[in-house]
């Protein structure tokens, strides 16, 4: 838990107000050598882009453990962006190639689980691409804005109407425990 030092706490009213004017919370993991410098360039070039992005600087996109991305969602992010050097430009020569595999698999995995694809983004932004960075951010913010607040980890409310239909065999409304005949008993082969 954080310690309160000097920063005043947000008052309840302010929080409510914020709730009404919902803005997406997006966590961005930027590689130190390219994308972070690119974002810097966008700043020094006075390029405007959406401010809903929270940047975390990492040494390389290869440093981004898929766990970081998942943890960001758990801790309340509405979207995640990971950005690194273009292939071939990696400061550590191959970090982003390894990262590319991880991200491709992670994206497929969490989208398979039902995560909205508008919430998770990857980009290559070089140190010279300040304008591309602003474009990427705007795109990401727009996409997450469309997707709305992420409530995937709130407890689902079950009722008859929202009952989930699943392919027949996945979730059989199974027989009661052991209400099978005894000769079908598990793992038996009679001697």
The footprint of other proteins on residues 93-152 (CB under 8 A) is 94, 97-98, 100-117, 121-124, 136, 139, 152
**Can you tell me which of 15, 17, 57, 76 binds other proteins, judged by CB under 8 A?**
76
Contact 53, 28 (CB under 8 A): yes
Q: Which residue, 60, 69, 65, is CA-closest to 31? A: 60
11 binding other proteins? (CB under 8 A): no
Nearer to other proteins by C-beta: 21 or 179?
Answer: 179
22 binding other proteins? (CB under 8 A): no
Sign of the four-CA dihedral 37, 79, 27, 139: positive
φ, ψ (nearest 5 deg) of residue 57: -90, 130
Q: How many residues form the binding site for other proteins (CB under 8 A)?
A: 72
**Can you tell me which of 70, 89, 91, 92 binds other proteins, judged by CB under 8 A?**
70
Report in angstroms how near the CB of residue 126 gets to other proteins at its nearest. 13
51 binding other proteins? (CB under 8 A): no
Sign of the four-CA dihedral 51, 16, 157, 163: negative
191 binding other proteins? (CB under 8 A): yes
N-term to C-term CA, the chain:
61
């Amino acid at each position: 838990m954080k310690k309160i030092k000097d920063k005043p706490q947000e008052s309840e009213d302010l929080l409510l107000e914020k709730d009404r004017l919902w803005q997406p919370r997006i966590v961005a993991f930027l590689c130190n050598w390219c994308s972070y410098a690119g974002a810097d360039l966008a700043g020094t070039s006075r390029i405007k882009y959406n401010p809903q992005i929270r940047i975390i600087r990492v040494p390389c996109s290869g440093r981004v453990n898929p766990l970081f991305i998942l943890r960001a969602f758990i801790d309340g992010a509405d979207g995640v962006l990971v950005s690194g050097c273009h292939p071939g430009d990696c400061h550590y020569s191959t970090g982003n190639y390894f990262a590319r595999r991880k991200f491709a698999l992670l994206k497929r995995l969490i989208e398979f689980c039902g995560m909205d694809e508008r919430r998770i983004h990857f980009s290559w932004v070089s140190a010279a691409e300040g304008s591309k960075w602003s474009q990427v951010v705007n795109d990401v913010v727009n996409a997450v804005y469309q997707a709305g607040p992420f409530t995937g980890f709130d407890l689902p409310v079950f009722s008859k109407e929202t009952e989930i239909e699943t392919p027949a065999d996945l979730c059989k409304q199974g027989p009661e425990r052991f209400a099978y005949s005894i000769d079908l008993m598990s793992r038996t082969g009679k001697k």
